[in-house]
Amino acid sequence: MTETHKFGTPNPITCHAWNKDRTQVGFSPNNQEVEIHRRTNSEWKLLDTLNQHDLRVMGIDWAPNTNRIVTCAADRNAYVWCQDKDHKWKPTLVLLRINRAATCVKWSPNENKFAVGSGARLISVCYFESENDWWVSKHIKKPIRSTITTLDWHPNNVLLAAGSADFKVRVFSAYIKDIEKTPEPTVWGSKMPLGQIMGEFVNSPAGGGWVHCVSFSPDGNKICWVSHDASINVGDPTKGNTFIKLKTEFLPFLSCIWISNKTVVAAGHSCVPVLYNVRNDELVFAGKLDTSQKKESGGLSAMRMFHSLDKQARSETSDTNLDSIHQNAITCVCIYSGTKSKATKISTSGLDGQLVIWDINSLERSIQGLKIE
């Protein structure tokens, strides 16, 4: 039901991405490099190391059809990597024109452009300029006033969702008229010049938190995000700037993604992937994917252990293992098999250096009460 993979290093995995047929994975072991590994049965072999960055890699995305990798890092740079005839990865520098760290990167669905978020309080929408044979960017600036922490593309290849450290989630138009035709109207709006705000959600500054991850629904008509106040949220543009907010009993989530039209999986500091169903105007807890955890009356065992140790003012040295597959925070969730409208497997990576593949269908059958809608 679950596959656990380790790569011979205890280093945390910052982020990971798969190639199209899922035989190769690229990830950053929390440094300035990206490792490309190929899977043969249950064994992994290191194929290549992408080592052009000078500082810690913050984001990686692998375009399935064009087979291009894009990476960004705290060195303020992004590179597009293509394979040569010897199957070695060669970088092309992207002109981001930013003066702060690049924090996240995402290919558009059509793979003809990508977006890079940064600490420079702007988004670089990048595309290939064939005349000069390089990747250039156009900026989305207003009204961003803080670091962009997460990005996701609408299925129409034009709208772009961005979460930031100012407790806000915004949907922008990332339309590049030089390379694409005029977009069709959506529930988010009809006029879409570059940088146009199509929606904005304020994640309650009084008791909210900065946004860790954002994800468009499969049809693009809703948006989900998780933030540092341990909440999961769903916004609907047809209902204005209002959104469904659920304060959870878990530690803050760091990543989320839709796995069906009404189900979201989220994971983070509690070390366990959790499912939520969207029903009308509410979010409903649907279950945990990790069956190795013992039942807890309130919260997770990691939180309970922390409270116990804190109350007794002592340190515990006899047993540091959590009763979960991941032994530290989960930093990245990706779809391994299927699509956002019907995912059958997902993959998670975390600070424990593990990559875990979860078979959602078999888990739904085996875990009592787990329900995907």
Whole-Å CA distances, 121 to 94, 298, 345: 18, 39, 35
Q: Identify the CA nearest to 113 among candidates 179, 27, 203.
A: 179
Residue in this structure with the two tokens 């609907």, named with its chain if needed: 236
Query: What pLDDT is recorded for position 133?
Result: 85
For residue 368, with 0-12 CB atoms within 10 Å meaning exposed, 13-18 middle and 19 or more buried, which class applies? exposed
Query: What pLDDT is recorded for position 242?
Result: 84
Q: How far is residue 165's CA from residue 147's CA, in Å, rounded to a whole number?
A: 6
pLDDT tens for each residue of 54-66: 999 999 999 999 9
pLDDT tens for each residue of 155-177: 999 999 999 999 999 999 999 99
Query: What pLDDT is recorded for position 285?
Result: 95
Query: What pLDDT is recorded for position 261?
Result: 94
Extract the residue ranges of the chain whose pLDDT is less than 70: 9, 205-207, 293-319, 368
99 by DSSP, 3-state: which?
coil
The domain segmentation of the chain, as residue ranges, is 2-295+328-366
Query: What pLDDT is recorded for position 207?
Result: 65
Bridge partner residues of 338 (DSSP): 343
Domain 2-295+328-366 in CATH 2.130.10.10: yes
338 by DSSP, 3-state: which?
strand
Q: How far is residue 329's CA from residue 159's CA, in Å, rounded to a whole number?
A: 30
